[in-house]
Amino acid sequence: MKPDHTDLPQPICTVDIVLLTVRDDGLMVATLKREHAPYIGRSALPGGYIHADEDANAFGAAMRVIRDKTGIVPPYLEQLSTFSGPTRDPRGWSVSIVHYALVPGELIAQANNASVQLLPVDRPLALPFDHELMVRTAVERLRNKSQYSSLPCFLAGETFTLPQLQRIYELLMGEPLNKVSFRRKITEMDMLEPIEGGFETAGAHRPAQLYRLKAAFRQRLMLLERGL
């Protein structure tokens, strides 16, 4: 007779978040100093236990952890992957449901949380657990999805100009993009609306039109979580 699951040791169940943002013309990941063992005092991804008494699901747990630990409510949050095994956490066989968040740089500044440390993703990160693998997986996912989606807009803030947005796409792709092709694609996707009379003027040159994401694309976060 096989033992019931209640007899077996159950895995530890946590969530971790790869919070990505753009600063200093580069893609950065947010880390926090760990306040508890293991690896107390080391910089690591924000994470925590699922609270069965208050979380609606892993997505809600990730949102709560981000909000409580950084003061940021990310405009985009999506499940990335689940990491598991007996050795990834010294506490034992563990499961971490990892989400990645996209946040405009301005939101990080507004939160004004000194404990949040931004590290460039392109250099070695020296993070505990398998957090470095999580970051690399998230960046890869973001780069893949950026090729054919509006995701990078969530790194760009409430309003932005097309040259600014193109720069973000270029950062993610790692290569310069053709201006005409870029604008053609953005137009086809029909995801932006110009802000009447809104212009960004930053120097002795023609000012650029300001845009924002259309409402339908801003709502995507919720739709994704409801199963589509």
Partner DNA sequence: TGAATAGTGTCTGTAAGACAATATTCC
Partner DNA sequence: GGAATATTGTCTTACAGACACTATTCA
- Residue numbers at the binding site for DNA (CB under 7 A): 161-163, 178-181, 183-185, 199, 201, 203-209
150, 60 Cβ separation under 8 angstroms:
no
Q: Which one of residues 49, 106, 117, 178 is an interface residue with a second copy (CB under 8 A)?
A: 49
Question: Cα–Cα distance between 219 and 194 in angstroms, integer?
Answer: 18
Segments of the chain assigned E as strands: 12-23, 26-33, 43-44, 47-49, 76-85, 94-102, 117-120, 160-161, 192-200, 208-213
Smaller CB separation from DNA, 90 or 163: 163
Judged by beta carbon distances under 5 to 8 A according to partner kind, the member of DNA, a second copy, none in contact with residue 123 is none
Instruction: Give the tokens for residue 126.
Output: 């020296």
- The set of residues, in sequence order, having a beta carbon less than 8 Å from that of 196 and lying 6+ positions away, is none
Binding to a second copy (CB under 8 A): which residues in 8-27? Answer: 8-13
The correct pick among 43, 113, 137, 149 for binding a second copy (CB under 8 A) is 137
> What is the pattern of x (binds a second copy, CB under 8 A) and - over residues 72-101?
-------x-xxxxxx-----xx-x-x----
- Considering CB distances under 5 to 8 angstroms, the limit depending on partner class, which of DNA, a second copy, none binds residue 117? none
- Give start and end residues of each alpha helix (H) in 89-205: 105-111, 131-146, 162-173, 179-189
The interface partner of residue 197, options being a second copy, DNA, none and the CB cut-off 5 to 8 Å by kind, is: none
176 near a second copy, rule: CB under 8 A: no
Task: Tell the smallest beta-carbon distance from residue 158 to a second copy (Å).
Answer: 30
Residue 117 contacts residue 32 (beta carbons within 8 Å): yes
Query: What does the alpha-carbon distance between residue 112 and residue 119 come to, in Å, rounded to a whole number?
Result: 16
Cα–Cα–Cα angle for 116, 119, 120, nearest 5°?
150
Q: Does 115 bind a second copy (CB under 8 A)?
A: no
Q: Are 26 and 108 in contact (CB under 8 A)?
A: no
Closer of 109 and 223 to a second copy (Cβ):
223
Residue 173 CB, shortest distance to DNA, in Å, is 10
Q: Which residues bind a second copy (CB under 8 A)?
A: 5, 8-13, 49-53, 56-58, 79, 81-86, 92-93, 95, 97, 133, 136-137, 227
